[in-house]
């Protein structure tokens, strides 16, 4: 069995909870509160901003035949940020002066630490899981959302053929990388696979709950 199939089967209970999250179901059904979706938008804008240095930091460690694909992901992410700004403008969401939530802050630190401190195959595992989680999550939303929804462009972004092609590419390459590593590195990869899955679930929970920092009052951290 390939590394990705084996890991997806292993983390399936968490993956199922992620796909069953109320944030996704309410967005799919059109019942999500405007402020709840706006909260996700503000936080994910920061996350995508951080995904750019994360991917850029992988390039020096990457095998030569990965450089072009990783490099091409950078302008794609810049375009994604434009999509956030454009949707924010039409939906009346202010993306300025946003502080990362506790969960978002932790996830971004984890991303960057993976890129800087882990092996290429380990950091690549984090990249694959984050992208696969978004593809699968937004497919849940796609299954029922009204195409006229103001949030639909986000659905299109992460369920497009181009995005699916990127996730499939990452999956094939991660399987290849996993074949060439030793047992200790493979174990690290499997731990990072699970941790990233947990962060993805936590991100939807953070978005839905409007989480503040532990110990601080509800409104604003």
Q: Name the site residues for ligand MP5 (rule: CB under 6 A).
A: 44, 47-48, 51, 77, 80, 130-131, 133-134, 200, 203
- Report the chain's C-alpha Rg in angstroms: 17
Compare residues 44 and 122 and give the one whose CB is closer to ligand MP5: 44
Q: What is the dihedral of CA 16, 36, 208, 11, to 10 degrees?
A: 30
In the structure encoding, which two tokens stand for residue 178, read together?
Answer: 């996993």
In the structure encoding, which two tokens stand for residue 210, read together?
Answer: 């409007």
Token pair 């995904």: residue: 51
Q: Which phi and psi angles does 30 have, rounded to 5°?
A: 80, 15
Compare residues 3 and 138 and give the one whose CB is closer to ligand MP5: 138
Compare residues 111 and 145 and give the one whose CB is closer to ligand MP5: 111
Compare residues 3 and 40 and give the one whose CB is closer to ligand MP5: 40
Token pair 């499997």: residue: 190
Compare residues 190 and 196 and give the one whose CB is closer to ligand MP5: 196
Residues 99 and 41 sit within 8 Å (Cβ to Cβ): no
Q: What angle do CA 63, 181, 76 make, to 5 degrees?
A: 40
Compare residues 157 and 190 and give the one whose CB is closer to ligand MP5: 157
Query: If we measure between CA atoms, which residue out of 186, 133, 135, 140 comes closest to residue 11?
Result: 133
Give Cβ neighbours of residue 138 (< 8 Å, ≥ 6 apart).
154, 155, 157, 158, 159
């Amino acid at each position: 069995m390939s590394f990705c199939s084996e890991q997806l089967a292993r983390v399936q209970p968490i993956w199922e909870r992620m796909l069953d999250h109320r944030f996704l179901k309410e967005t799919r059904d059109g019942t999500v509160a405007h402020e709840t979706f706006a909260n996700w938008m503000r936080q994910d804008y920061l996350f995508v901003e951080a995904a750019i240095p994360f991917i850029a930091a992988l390039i020096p460690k990457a095998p030569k035949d990965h450089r072009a694909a990783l490099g091409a992901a950078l302008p794609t992410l810049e375009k994604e940020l434009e999509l956030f700004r454009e949707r924010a403008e039409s939906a009346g969401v202010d993306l300025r002066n946003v502080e990362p939530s506790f969960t978002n802050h932790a996830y971004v630190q984890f991303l960057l630490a993976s890129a800087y401190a882990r092996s290429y195959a380990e950091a690549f595992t984090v990249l694959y899981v984050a992208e696969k989680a978004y593809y699968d999550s937004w497919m849940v939303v796609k299954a029922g959302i009204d195409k006229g929804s103001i949030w639909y462009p986000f659905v299109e972004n992460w369920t497009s053929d181009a995005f699916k092609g990127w996730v499939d590419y990452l999956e094939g390459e991660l399987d290849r990388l996993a074949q060439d590593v030793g047992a200790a590195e493979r174990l690290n990869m499997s731990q990072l696979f699970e941790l990233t899955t947990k962060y993805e679930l936590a991100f939807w929970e953070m978005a839905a709950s409007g989480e503040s920092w532990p110990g601080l009052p509800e409104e604003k951290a």
